[in-house]
Amino acid sequence: WTHFGWYYGKPATIWSLGILLHQMVCREHPFRRGHNISWDHQLLLPQQLSPECQNLFRWCLSMYSLERPSFEDLFWDLWMQ
């Protein structure tokens, strides 16, 4: 956002929600160590998380904003239900 000067509210909100959910479940910021995300788009997550939870985090924290879910998508996500 600061680099390009663009702000897309909904994708940014979903990203923030992904950060918040990760902090609530894992008790740490997903990018705290600076190496938890790479350019090949693999978010390193604790193995003890369920596959549904891991998928939700990866979906919300996708590098590409167009790949992130909408609010409506979140209501239908298996882990959120």
Residue identified by tokens 């190496």 is: 35
- Count other Cβ atoms within 10 Å, centred on residue 36: 16
- The domain containing residue 52 runs over which residues? 9-30+46-76
Q: Which two tokens stand for residue 35?
A: 């190496």
Q: Which two tokens stand for residue 72?
A: 């409506």
* pLDDT at site 30: 81
* pLDDT at site 38: 55
* pLDDT at site 10: 82
Does some domain include residue 67? yes
Does some domain include residue 4? no
User: In Å, how far are 5, 49, 69 from 27, measured between CA atoms?
Assistant: 31, 13, 23
- Statement: the pTM of the whole predicted model exceeds 0.85: no
Does some domain include residue 62? yes
pLDDT-flagged residues of the chain (< 50):
none
Residue 64: CB partners within 8 Å, gap ≥ 6?
41
> Do residues 61 and 18 touch, judged by C-beta distance below 8 A?
yes
How many domains does the structure of the chain reveal? 1
